[in-house]
Structure 1
Amino acid sequence: MNKAIFVDKDGTLLVDVPYNVDPSRMEFYEGARESLRQLQEHGFLIIVVTNQSGVARGFFTEEAVINVGNVVATELANYCVTLDGFYFCPHHPAGSVAAYARPCNCRKPAPGMLLRAAEDFNIDLQNSWMIGNSLDDVAAGRRAGCFTLLISDTETTRDRAGSIPPTATATSLSEAAAIVLENQRVLV
């Protein structure tokens, strides 16, 4: 079985620009691409899992989100990182587009995207990590059976994590990668 790094897109991999599907406004966090390369070199699949309620809200289409995934994959490839999967949830119960305005099992904090990727890529969830900047990311990872890593540079978010404790916390994807690799040595 494979092991994976599930990584949130906005606020974790890319600087969060709300409802952005414009590639010219996409900015990777410093060290993010290199960190994913290091994790991939240690045998992890790299899979983005992202809530994209802008589809349900009518701000953009699924095709626009797919294009974002393609741009992310191309940019990562420039750093010798293969993006193994790009999963997104287009739903939101308060959406204005009827086809997407509903509850689902894929919108984080639900684990649906991780479970689907696990099936698609034969992933051992118990040896995989969900890395994200929100408690919804942590909850999705825990519900899927993964280790979880909360990226936050604020004490308030880390304090709120008490109800859904992550395996670890970090202030950047670079620090998160170091934590994952150190824990892999302990867990093996």
Structure 2
Amino acid sequence: MIRVAIVDDDALVRAGLRTIFSSAEDLLVVGEAEDGSGVPELVAREHPDVLVMDIRMPGVDGIEATRRLIGSPVRVLVLTTFQLDEHVFAAVEAGASGFLLKDTPPRELIEAVRIVAAGDAMLSPSHTRALIEHFADSGRDRRRDGARELLDRLSPRELEVAEGVAQGLSNAEIGAALFCSEATVKTHLTRVFAKIGEANRVRLALLVRDATD
């Protein structure tokens, strides 16, 4: 079972999401919070695999709540009204694994949680490119030098896996391209994240882009 927690200041939205996620046999809604201030306690108490969180909330918003979870194994999907506004960029930079539009159909919401729980990012290649382009212009030289230093720690195969992530490929797609199993890709990714001190696919994609810019 995939343990899911919901954070949104709108009670109706929380109720709707709970109904949607509870309809899937492999998802279990383990808790809710009405703003970001309740996230640390919620995560500590219920140990969710995926946190579905509104990006704009009074008090502690989704961006700050995500930032406070750095180092936690929980994966964050942020909810937003617009596809790629500044709040989404900030949430991804803070460590979110992807984002969902609030009008996403129920079946796609469920599948998004499954994707993130499996360790993939809920971002299409086009969204990944947009994020990379957004961050690429800021501190280009410093970011390039730092990224290259981190990627130098990787083995040739680990670097190939990282490059696959940067292309927006899933673990299965990377495995097919490198003629290895999905489990092997996951093992390589675990080592990559340990070596670079980062456990987020989108941030890894940005790192690869910075290094090759």
TM-score normalised to the size of structure 2? 0.41
Ranked by relative contact order (alpha carbons within 8 Å, sequence separation 6 or more), the top structure is 1
Tell which structure's C-alpha radius of gyration is larger: 2
TM-score normalised to the size of structure 1? 0.45
